[in-house]
C-alpha cells in the first residue's frame, strides 16, 4: 500500500466512524421536547430510538444544576430494533428541570398535572373563537406554568403509530393563547389558580369526529359495522382516487357556478356600489321573508312566485349563489376610520364587500363573521354592503340572534332589517365528500397511541354531537373507549371527565331537541356506570343557535371543580 492509499484508507475509516456516530444519535419522540410538562408523583417515562445495543444514560437536574435522582443517572440499552425506554424517579411539582439523554438535552421541563383533552369541535374550539365574551381577560393573562401541545391531525388506517408529526409544547402568552383549546385554557387557568401546580394540556381533538374514530381496532371487535366501514377504506389507492374525484367534482361545481353567476359576469358587478338594484326584491336579513319585487315573465325571480323565502323554491332549498345588498347611512364620526363588520353566522359560505371593496370571506357555516374594515373605506352618508352567500347543501340563511353591525370605535350601526335580494346561480347540491377522520379507529392510531407512554392525571372528553343520530349505541361505544384508553395507558383508574352536550336547536325543533336530551341521558348513564368517570354539567351553558357555545369559562371551572373534588376523594 503506497502512502496515498494509506491516507485514503485512514480517511475512509474516519468517515465511517463519524457516520456511525451520527447514526447512533439518540432520537426522541415528538412528545418529549423542551418546554414539556410531565406528570408529578409518577415515574417519568422516556423513550426513543438509537442504534441496536447502544447504551442510554438519562440524568435530570434542577434549576441549580443539581441531580434530582441517582447521581450517575439511570441507564438502559437499546434493543435489537433500536428501541429503548426508561423510567426515571418522579419529580416534585414545579421546575424547571433539564433532562439529558446521552447528547440530547430537553430544557425547561415542568412537573405538574397533565390532562389529555380530546373530542370533537367543542374541545378543539380555540380561544380565538370566544373573544367576544372574554377578550379583556384573555389579553391580560400570561402563565408559563400552563402549557399545551396540539397533537397534529393525522389519519392512519393501517396500524397504531409510535410518534406524532412535529409539534411543540407552548405556554400561555400573547403569542400562543389564541390557539389554545378554549375549554382547556379556562380549565387549566382555574385549576392552576387553586393549586399552584403547573398544568399540561395534551390537545388531541378533531371537529366532527365520532367516538369510534378514537377507539383501537382490537377493542372495536364487538362493533362489526364500524370495523367494516374502516375496511372499505383501508386501501390507500382507493382513498386517493376518491379524493382526486372529489377535487374534480368540486372544481367543476365551482367553475360552473362562477361562470354563470351574473353578479360576477355582468359589466357592472353586483357588489359595485353604483349597481342599480331597484328591481331586486326586498327581504328581511334574518327571517329571509321577501316583501316585494316579485315579477313574472323571463325574470330570475320567477321561480319564487308564490313563495316568500329567498332560500328555497317553495319546496326545496336553492343551492348556489345568492346576493344581498344594503345601503347604510353612517355619520361623519365613523367616516374614514378603521372598523369591523359583524355578520353573525351564515349558512354556508360568504364573500363580503363594502363600497365595492372585498373585506372578507369564510368557507363554512360555523365561524362568526368578523371582518376588518380598512382605514379610508367608510364614508359619511350612504355606504353599500354586499354579501354573496354560497350554499352548497341545506337551507341558506343568516343565523338569528347573532350580531349584525358595523363597529367603529365605540359607535355601531345595525345591519339588521331590510336588504335587497337577487338569486345569482341556482345549482344542484354540492358534491358529497368523504371525511376519512370520521372512520373508525383511524384517530386512535395516530392521535392516541403515540401518547400512551405518558402518564396523565386524567382525560377530559367533550364529544357526542356527531353520535346523536346513533345515540342508541353510544353508551357501549363510550364505555369501550374509556376501557380502551385505560388499557393503553396502563392505568385502570384513569379519571374520565365527560362533558355533557350543551343545549342546542331552536325550541320549535322538538324532535331534534328530544334527540339531544336523550344523548345527554346516555352520557350521564355512562358516568354513573363507569368507576372513575364524572359527568360535567353543560346543558345550561348552551346556545340554541350555535353548536359551539361561547361560555367555555364556566365550563372550564366545572371541570376544575371535578378534578379538585377527585383529588380530595383519592387523598
Q: pLDDT by residue (tens digit) across 358-401?
A: 999 999 999 999 999 999 999 999 999 999 999 999 899 999 99
Mean model confidence pLDDT for the chain: 93
The region of weakest confidence among 16-20, 526-530, 552-556 is 16-20
Residue with cell 378534578: 563
pLDDT of residue 294: 44
29 DSSP 8-state letter = -
Asked if residue 204 lies in contact with residue 117, where contact means CB atoms within 8 angstroms, the answer is yes
Q: In 3D, which of 219, 148, 231, 225 has the Cα closest to residue 187?
A: 148
pLDDT of residue 570: 57
The confidence band for 36, taking pLDDT boundaries of 50, 70 and 90, is very high
Rounded to whole angstroms, the Cα distance separating 47 from 99 reads: 12
Q: Is the pTM of this model over 0.75?
A: yes
What mean pLDDT is predicted for residues 84-97?
Answer: 96
CA 500 to chain centre: 18
pLDDT of residue 417: 96
The percentage of the chain sitting over the pLDDT mark of 70, rounded to a whole number, equals: 92
User: Which domains occur in the chain, in start order?
Assistant: 37-111 (2.20.130), 116-233+435-570 (3.40.50.1110), 265-427 (2.60.120.260)
The region of weakest confidence among 13-17, 396-400, 407-411 is 13-17
The region of weakest confidence among 17-21, 199-203, 217-221, 521-525 is 17-21
pLDDT in tens, 111-149: 999 999 999 999 999 999 999 999 999 999 999 999 999
Torsion of CA 374, 377, 381, 382, to 10 degrees: -100
The confidence band for 300, taking pLDDT boundaries of 50, 70 and 90, is very low
Residue 435 has pLDDT above 50, yes or no: yes
Rounded to whole angstroms, the Cα distance separating 39 from 44 reads: 7
Class of residue 57 by CB neighbours under 10 A (exposed 0-12, middle 13-18, buried 19+) = middle
pLDDT of residue 79: 96
Backbone φ and ψ for 480, nearest 5 degrees, come out as: -65, -40
What mean pLDDT is predicted for residues 430-457?
Answer: 97
Q: What count of other Cβ atoms lies within 10 Å of the Cβ of residue 352?
A: 22
What are the residues whose beta carbons fall under 8 Å from the beta carbon of 197, sequence distance 6 or more? Answer: 40, 93, 112, 113, 191
pLDDT of residue 308: 73
Residue 460 has pLDDT above 50, yes or no: yes
pLDDT of residue 307: 59
pLDDT of residue 371: 98
The number of residues in the chain equals 571
The confidence band for 295, taking pLDDT boundaries of 50, 70 and 90, is very low
Torsion of CA 76, 79, 85, 87, to 10 degrees: -40
pLDDT of residue 567: 78
Rounded to whole angstroms, the Cα distance separating 281 from 305 reads: 11
pLDDT in tens, 303-349: 344 457 899 998 999 999 999 999 999 999 999 999 999 999 999 99
Amino acid at each position: 500500500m503506497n502512502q496515498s492509499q494509506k491516507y485514503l484508507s485512514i480517511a475512509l475509516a474516519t468517515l465511517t466512524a463519524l457516520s456511525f456516530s451520527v447514526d447512533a444519535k439518540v432520537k426522541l419522540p415528538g412528545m418529549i421536547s423542551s418546554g414539556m410538562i410531565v406528570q408529578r408523583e409518577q415515574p417519568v417515562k422516556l423513550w426513543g430510538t438509537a442504534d441496536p445495543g447502544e447504551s442510554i444514560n438519562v440524568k435530570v437536574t434542577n434549576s441549580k444544576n443539581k441531580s434530582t435522582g441517582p447521581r450517575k443517572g439511570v441507564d438502559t440499552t437499546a434493543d435489537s430494533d433500536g428501541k429503548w425506554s426508561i423510567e426515571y424517579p418522579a419529580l416534585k411539582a414545579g421546575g424547571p428541570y433539564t433532562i439529558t439523554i446521552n447528547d440530547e438535552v430537553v430544557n425547561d421541563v415542568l412537573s405538574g398535572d397533565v390532562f389529555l383533552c380530546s373530542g370533537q369541535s367543542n374541545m378543539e374550539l380555540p380561544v380565538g373563537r370566544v373573544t367576544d365574551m372574554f377578550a379583556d381577560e384573555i389579553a391580560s393573562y400570561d402563565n408559563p406554568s400552563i402549557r399545551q401541545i396540539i397533537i397534529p391531525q393525522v389519519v392512519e388506517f393501517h396500524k397504531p403509530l409510535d410518534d406524532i408529526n412535529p409539534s411543540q409544547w407552548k405556554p400561555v402568552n400573547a403569542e400562543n393563547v389564541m390557539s389554545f383549546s378554549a375549554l382547556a385554557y379556562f380549565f387549566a387557568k382555574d385549576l392552576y389558580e387553586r393549586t399552584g401546580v403547573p398544568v399540561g394540556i395534551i390537545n388531541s381533538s378533531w371537529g366532527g369526529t365520532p367516538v369510534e374514530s378514537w377507539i383501537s381496532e382490537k377493542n372495536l371487535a364487538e362493533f362489526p359495522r364500524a370495523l367494516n366501514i374502516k375496511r372499505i377504506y383501508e386501501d390507500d389507492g382507493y382513498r386517493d382516487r376518491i379524493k382526486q374525484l372529489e377535487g374534480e367534482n368540486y372544481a367543476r361545481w365551482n367553475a360552473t357556478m362562477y361562470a354563470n353567476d351574473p353578479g360576477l359576469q355582468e359589466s357592472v358587478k353586483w357588489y359595485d356600489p353604483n349597481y342599480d338594484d331597484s328591481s331586486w326584491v326586498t327581504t328581511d336579513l334574518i327571517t329571509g321573508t321577501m316583501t316585494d319585487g316579485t315579477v313574472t315573465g323571463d325574470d330570475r325571480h320567477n321561480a319564487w312566485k308564490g313563495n316568500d323565502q329567498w332560500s328555497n323554491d317553495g319546496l326545496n332549498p336553492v343551492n348556489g349563489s345568492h346576493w344581498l345588498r344594503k345601503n347604510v347611512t353612517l355619520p361623519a364620526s365613523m367616516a374614514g376610520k378603521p372598523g369591523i363588520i359583524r355578520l353573525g353566522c351564515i349558512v354556508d359560505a360568504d364573500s363580503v364587500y363594502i363600497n365595492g371593496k372585498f373585506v372578507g370571506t369564510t368557507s363554512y357555516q360555523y365561524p362568526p363573521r368578523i371582518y376588518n374594515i380598512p382605514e379610508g373605506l367608510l364614508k359619511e352618508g350612504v355606504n353599500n354592503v354586499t354579501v354573496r352567500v354560497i350554499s352548497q347543501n341545506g337551507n341558506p340563511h343568516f343565523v338569528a340572534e347573532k350580531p349584525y353591525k358595523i363597529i367603529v370605535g365605540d359607535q355601531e350601526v345595525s345591519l339588521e332589517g331590510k336588504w335587497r335580494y337577487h338569486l345569482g346561480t341556482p345549482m344542484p347540491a354540492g358534491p358529497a365528500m368523504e371525511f376519512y377522520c370520521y372512520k373508525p379507529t383511524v384517530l386512535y392510531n395516530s392521535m392516541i397511541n403515540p401518547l400512551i407512554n405518558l402518564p396523565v392525571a386524567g382525560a377530559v372528553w367533550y364529544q357526542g354531537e356527531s353520535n346523536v343520530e346513533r345515540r342508541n349505541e353510544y353508551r357501549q361505544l363510550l364505555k369501550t373507549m374509556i376501557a380502551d384508553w385505560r388499557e393503553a395507558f396502563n392505568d385502570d383508574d384513569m379519571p374520565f371527565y365527560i362533558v355533557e352536550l350543551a343545549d342546542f336547536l331552536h325550541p320549535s325543533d322538538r324532535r331534534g331537541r328530544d334527540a339531544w336530551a336523550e344523548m345527554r341521558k346516555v352520557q350521564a348513564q355512562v358516568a354513573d356506570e363507569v368507576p372513575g368517570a364524572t359527568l360535567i354539567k353543560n346543558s345550561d351553558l348552551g346556545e340554541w343557535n350555535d353548536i359551539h357555545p361561547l361560555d367555555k369559562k364556566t365550563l372550564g371551572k366545572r371541570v376544575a371543580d371535578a378534578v379538585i373534588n377527585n383529588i380530595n376523594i383519592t387523598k
